[in-house]
Amino acid sequence: MDMQTYAPFIAAGLASAAIMLFVSAIMRMTADRGRVRKMHQRIANNPPEAQASSRGLLGNVVAKAAASADRIGEHLSPTKKEELEEANLSMVRAGLKNPARANRIYWGVKGGLMLVGLLGASFVCFVLRLPVPPALMALMFIVPMVLGMYIPNIWLQMRTSARRTAITNSLPDALDLLVVCVESGMGLDQALSRIAREMAATNPELAGELNTVILELRAGKTRTDALKNLARRVGIDDMNSLVTLIVQADTFGTSIATTLRVYSDHMRTTRYQRAEEIAAKLPVKMLFPLIFFILPALFVTIMGPAGIQLMRVFANM
């Protein structure tokens, strides 16, 4: 067998290596959120050498891949202030707690995937000098660039969408708890802190955002600024409306409990309407699999015996 026979396997191996580096960097970016809180304790109890050995081979590979992506991303990430702020906001909305480093790793992964793919294609075409057809050679150079550009984008969009969905689903329950706490006599800050503690196990995304609001309030920010930052980080219309109502009620001196009660009823109605909308879309979504997968099998099951019987009758004639 000549080298041309091994070309697809070599290309597949290089693609697998690129995907492994990408997954390793993503695993590093999406590490446990409690790592930052435990970092000081780990450093105090274990020297750096012991930490490196305790991570194991896979942990060291992931750490080195993330560090390499971080260094590459320093040269590829946006430099303009507006673009950098928008990129960091995208990382925050995806649930990444260190947006600056996550943004660098993100761009480093994009550049690394393209670089590994292009190096692999160059190795196959120019070093091994395999007789690759021109069309396949063009694909070997174009596909890594396309994958490197769009795979991280797709991952970031999926993570952001999943986080928004989780916060949207947990927001009505949090609002009901907020109404109960405020009507029982708690202040708004105390109520937010209590809700964050109660929802930490069931809704960690929303609980983490509420904890961030509490920390900003303790750091000296006004309630209006902290709530507006919350709406900006989350990026959900329901949260924007809730923050606007609370800020207006706080500014004009109206009852926050009454405002929250009215908005809670409105959100419950909106949630019911969304469920009805999803249910109304189901028949349309089921039309394609029904026509192309279910009806043919049903047709064969019903008409098959009759068709076989007709064939026998015509054969005997």
Contacts of 226 (CB under 8 A, 6+ apart): 213, 216, 217
- Judged on CB neighbours under 10 Å (0-12, 13-18, 19+), 240 is middle
Tokens of 95: 């649930």
Q: For 228-276, what is each residue's pLDDT tens digit?
A: 999 999 988 889 989 998 899 888 888 888 888 888 888 888 888 888 9
End-to-end CA distance of the chain: 58
Band the pLDDT of 12: cuts 50, 70, 90. Answer: low
- Judged on CB neighbours under 10 Å (0-12, 13-18, 19+), 49 is exposed
Highest mean pLDDT among 138-147, 198-207, 302-311: 198-207
Band the pLDDT of 13: cuts 50, 70, 90. Answer: low
Kindly report each contact of residues 147-154 with a partner whose C-beta sits within 8 Å and lies 24 or more positions away, as own/partner: 147/18, 147/113, 147/114, 147/117, 148/18, 148/110, 148/111, 148/112, 148/113, 148/114, 148/115, 148/117, 149/110, 149/114, 151/22, 151/113, 152/22, 152/106, 152/109, 152/110, 152/113
CA nearest to 177, candidates 161, 193, 162? 193
- Sign for the pseudo-dihedral over CA of 101, 103, 108, 109: positive
Instruction: Give the model's pLDDT for residue 56.
Output: 60
Instruction: Give the model's pLDDT for residue 158.
Output: 92
Transcribe 195-235 into DSSP letters.
HHHHTTTT-HHHHHHHHHHHHHHHTT--HHHHHHHHHHHH-
Q: In the chain, where does DSSP find H-type helix?
A: 3-29, 35-45, 48-76, 81-93, 99-122, 134-183, 188-198, 204-218, 223-234, 237-252, 256-289, 295-316
Q: For 176-221, what is each residue's pLDDT tens digit?
A: 899 999 988 888 889 999 999 998 888 888 999 999 999 999 998 9
Question: Cα–Cα–Cα angle for 229, 235, 236, nearest 5°?
Answer: 120
Instruction: Give the model's pLDDT for residue 202.
Output: 86
Model confidence at 116: pLDDT above 60: yes
Average pLDDT, the chain: 79
Tokens of 202: 């069931």
Q: 47 or 63: which carries more pLDDT confidence?
A: 63
- Judged on CB neighbours under 10 Å (0-12, 13-18, 19+), 6 is middle
- Domains (ranges, CATH) in the chain? 3-164 (no CATH), 167-271 (1.20.81)
Residue 253 DSSP code:
T
Model confidence at 108: pLDDT above 60: yes
Model confidence at 50: pLDDT above 50: no
Model confidence at 55: pLDDT above 60: no
Are 113 and 18 within 8 A, CB to CB?
yes
Instruction: Give the model's pLDDT for residue 4.
Output: 56
Band the pLDDT of 30: cuts 50, 70, 90. Answer: low
Band the pLDDT of 72: cuts 50, 70, 90. Answer: confident
Rg (CA), the chain: 28
Q: For 160-185, what is each residue's pLDDT tens digit?
A: 999 999 998 888 889 989 999 998 88
